[in-house]
Amino acid sequence: MRALPLICLLLLINLYICYSQEDHSSSPKRQKRRMLNRRKRIKSSTGRQQLKESTPITAPAFDMPLYNDEAVVHILKAVLGVNEQAPSYNILPVKKGHCTVNGMVMYHNAVWSPKPCITCMCTNGKEVCDEIICPPLTCPVTVTHDGECCPVCSEIAPNDPSEVFIGNSPRTQQEMDELLRREEEEREEEEERIREKRAKKKKAEQTRKQDEQRRLQLEAKEEERKQEEIRKANEEEELRIEEEETRKMEKEQKRKEEEDKREEELNWLVKEKKQREREEREQEEDEDYDDEDESDHLRGDVFRVAQIRVPGSRRPTEIHHPPLPPGCFISEITVSCSNAKLTQIPAISDPEIRSLDLLGNFITSIPNGAFNGLPNLERIDLSKNNLTSMEINTQAFKSLKNLKRLYLDGNLLVHFPPKLPSTLEELKVNDNMIRGIEEDSFKDLKNLATLELEGNLLSEANVNPLAFRPLQSLIYMRLGRNKFRTIPQGLPATIEEIYLENNEIEDIVETAFNHTTNLHTVILRHNKLEEASITPMTWILHENLESLDLSYNKFYHVPSYLPKSLLHLVLVGNQIERIPGYVFAHMNPGLEYLYLTSNKLTNDGIDPISFHGAYHSLREIFLDHNELQSVPVGIEDMKDLHILRLNNNKIRSVSRNCICNEENDEDSSIEFLHLENNFINTREISPYAFSCIRSYSSVILKPQKVK
């Protein structure tokens, strides 16, 4: 029994020796090919090992020690369930625990390979075989190396799909040389592509640098052009200033010549008048003196004659003053020189004058002492002159202890006149070029009640928040036609009316009117307000606000959170499409005047609840110039409505109950009902449609538009 294994062992040793000799006798060319195959096998085995690591094992495996006689040979990863029954010839007797394979007896734990890629083992007299399952490959070229069961991906990518080798890798030296040649060509092509890519990149970089240089050159030229324009503008400005100074000097010289001429005329008139008075006194020396009333109006070339009674004399002493300039006249306590073409403030001396009107002249300056002869002036109107801030002396108004009203509209002021009298109650500086309000601009004006600053260059950026603090008595303020984007800060707490129309106001913050709880009129028309611009708590503290004008803004529906004390609401010229329900319900005693002219209201935008809370209070409703197709619902329930305007809509019919409620027999309070310029066929109107209106003359139906 032991002779058979020995014979097999000797045969195996013989085969090994022959193979070794053949190996040593192989040519160098064959050895080189074998070396290449060995390198590829190493690479392929590395790839196969990575593939095995990434391929999940589907069957459970276990480690089983394999023995040859009593020595451990290796560890086999076996897959259970793969059995292959070898043929049994029963030539030799079999002991318990041994296996018979092809007439050979295999000991317990013996291992053999009946076929390639199949390994079997004897276990307690049973044969257990394991077949290696090759994983699927997706590569175009596969190679099966010597001694391996499964193919692996080849690293050589063919240029032509027809060159894909299936099964084993090429074996001949010619094929290997061909593959190496192709690899070399591919490498050269790749290097050529890389060189082309680098060349393109270099060219693109050069182009970019050239473009950058051209851009810098263009910018430099543009900068030079701008500098040249600035230089020309500066030269033109200098030339203009020189011309302006020349004209000013000529004007000043002309003015001096006119003054000299006027002074000569005055001196002559004074001498003539004194001579005439002397002659009159000589004629009336022995006559009794009777007082005569002074006429109300004097000619422009005769000035008032002041009379002073001297003790011990029977008649008062007359003090004569020079006559007024041409174009001026006096009436009681007012001197009027409107549009008299004056270039300076006339020299007038009369303590009884209370008002001086210099409107529409060419006055450019107010020197120190200009009003010294009129110490009791209460009103000065210097509107529409050519006054500048630099030409108003800081002491110009110092002597006026009773001045209450000062009008400086339509001049060229950029700052407020300094040191205004503290007695001022009304100040108007509209249509100037005021560029800012400083903290001390209104210093000591604690009695000022009216301030108008419309048509200037004011904004929240150049108005000091503390500028209005000295105005402790201010009631009326106009800031329209400026550049405000928000409500100016620091408004006086005493203010009752504020006009901010024609600005650029976009939002009203919650604290904008917190300290102005005495407001009863706010005008904000011609701004940029929307529904979300007014915060819900803006008017929460206002219990006296009665009039609110939000015309010509950007509202799409009647805004909510309106003041509860509101009586007048003006929303003309917006884009309002809807009156939300209960928007007037919180008002007490209730809204009386609602003006919605020139909007986009339709019948779908007005519900019975739209006027809830105002049915008992509304007196006037203007819904003209909208897109209504019928009389809105709820009109018949308004108890105190006097004026209803529905003209210039798209109304085609007037139903029986839209104006007059059949359930109410009382007469309507409507005095004017406008329905003209619609599409109404007046012949189809029910005779009972206006039965509750006292006078049919109150209903205006004509003209109507042609259908």
DSSP state of 508: B
Residue ending a domain, among 242, 276, 310, is 276
Q: Which of 20-24, 160-164, 473-477, 566-570 is least confident?
A: 160-164
Q: Which of 122-126, 305-309, 606-610 is least confident?
A: 305-309
SS3 229: helix
Asked whether residue 137 falls in the same domain as residue 210, the answer is: no
Which pLDDT score is estimated for 276? 61
Is 260 a member of any domain? yes
Cis peptide leading into residue 151 (ω within 30°) = no
Task: Convert 363-431 into a string of H (helix), E (strand) and C (coil).
Answer: CCCECCCCCCCCCCCCEEECCCCCCEHHHECCCCCCCCCCCCEEECCCCECCCCCCCCCCCCCEEECCC
Is 473 a member of any domain? no
Q: Which amino acid is at 117?
A: C
Asked whether residue 83 falls in the same domain as residue 191, the answer is: no
- Please check the confidence at residue 131 and state whether its pLDDT lies above 60: yes
Is 231 a member of any domain? yes
**Partners of 450 in the beta sheet?**
426, 476
Model confidence pLDDT, tens digit, residues 432-478: 999 999 999 999 899 999 999 999 999 999 999 999 999 999 999 99
Question: Contact at 8 Å (CB) between 451 and 470?
Answer: no
Number of domains in the chain: 2
Asked whether residue 143 falls in the same domain as residue 229, the answer is: no
Residue whose C-alpha is closest to residue 579's, from 523, 591, 669 = 591
Model confidence pLDDT, tens digit, residues 638-649: 989 999 999 999
Asked whether residue 94 falls in the same domain as residue 151, the answer is: yes
The two tokens of residue 393 are 């002396």
Question: Contact at 8 Å (CB) between 517 and 493?
Answer: yes
SS3 278: helix
Is 95 a member of any domain? yes
Distant-in-sequence, close-in-space partners of 665: CB < 8 Å, separation ≥ 6:
none
Model confidence pLDDT, tens digit, residues 25-76: 444 445 445 545 554 454 444 444 443 444 343 333 333 443 333 333 333 3
Residue whose C-alpha is closest to residue 262's, from 183, 374, 341, 157 = 341
Is 707 a member of any domain? no
Residue whose C-alpha is closest to residue 671's, from 645, 637, 695, 635 = 695
Rounding to the nearest 10 degrees, give the CA dihedral for residues 545, 562, 598, 533. 110
Cα(165)–Cα(175) distance, integer angstroms = 11
Please compute, for residue 172, the number of CA atoms within 13 A of its CA located in the half-sphere on the CB side: 3
The whole domain housing 200 covers 179-276
Asked whether residue 61 falls in the same domain as residue 151, the answer is: yes
* Mean pLDDT, residues 185-192: 88
Which DSSP helix (H) or strand (E) runs through 215? helix 173-283
- Please check the confidence at residue 83 and state whether its pLDDT lies above 60: no
Distant-in-sequence, close-in-space partners of 351: CB < 8 Å, separation ≥ 6:
374, 375, 376
Is 120 a member of any domain? yes
Which pLDDT score is estimated for 155? 61
pLDDT mean across residues, the chain = 80
Residue ending a domain, among 256, 276, 296, is 276
Asked whether residue 91 falls in the same domain as residue 124, the answer is: yes
Residue ending a domain, among 163, 195, 211, is 163
Question: Contact at 8 Å (CB) between 398 and 377?
Answer: no
Asked whether residue 53 falls in the same domain as residue 150, the answer is: yes
The two tokens of residue 649 are 């809509």
pTM over 0.75: no
Is 11 a member of any domain? no
Asked whether residue 106 falls in the same domain as residue 210, the answer is: no
C-alpha gyration radius of the chain: 57
Distant-in-sequence, close-in-space partners of 628: CB < 8 Å, separation ≥ 6:
601, 602, 603, 606, 646, 649, 650, 651
Which pLDDT score is estimated for 694? 86
Asked whether residue 192 falls in the same domain as residue 265, the answer is: yes
Asked whether residue 66 falls in the same domain as residue 131, the answer is: yes
Which pLDDT score is estimated for 580? 95
* Mean pLDDT, residues 490-511: 94
- In percent, the amount of the chain with pLDDT more than 90 equals 42
Which pLDDT score is estimated for 280? 61
* Mean pLDDT, residues 593-611: 95
Which pLDDT score is estimated for 480? 96
Q: Which of 335-339, 566-570, 650-654, 691-695 is least confident?
A: 691-695
- Cα-Cα end-to-end distance for the chain: 128
Is 202 a member of any domain? yes
Distant-in-sequence, close-in-space partners of 599: CB < 8 Å, separation ≥ 6:
571, 572, 573, 574, 575, 576, 577, 625, 626
Instruction: Give just the sign of the alpha carbon dihedral 546, 549, 554, 556.
Output: positive
Asked whether residue 223 falls in the same domain as residue 152, the answer is: no
* Mean pLDDT, residues 198-226: 89
Q: Which of 12-26, 407-421, 462-476, 572-586 is least confident?
A: 12-26
* Mean pLDDT, residues 425-437: 95
Which DSSP helix (H) or strand (E) runs through 11? helix 3-25
Instruction: Give just the sign of the alpha carbon dihedral 434, 436, 437, 439.
Output: negative
DSSP labels, 633-661? TTGGG-SS--EEE--SS------TTSSS-
Cα(73)–Cα(204) distance, integer angstroms = 67
**Triad 644, 648, 654: Cα angle to 5°:** 60
Question: Contact at 8 Å (CB) between 478 and 430?
Answer: yes
Question: Contact at 8 Å (CB) between 490 and 467?
Answer: yes
- Please check the confidence at residue 266 and state whether its pLDDT lies above 70: no
More confident residue, 558 or 25: 558
Count, residues in the chain: 707
Question: Contact at 8 Å (CB) between 557 and 584?
Answer: no
Please compute, for residue 312, the number of CA atoms within 13 A of its CA located in the half-sphere on the CB side: 0
Asked whether residue 52 falls in the same domain as residue 121, the answer is: yes
More confident residue, 435 or 166: 435
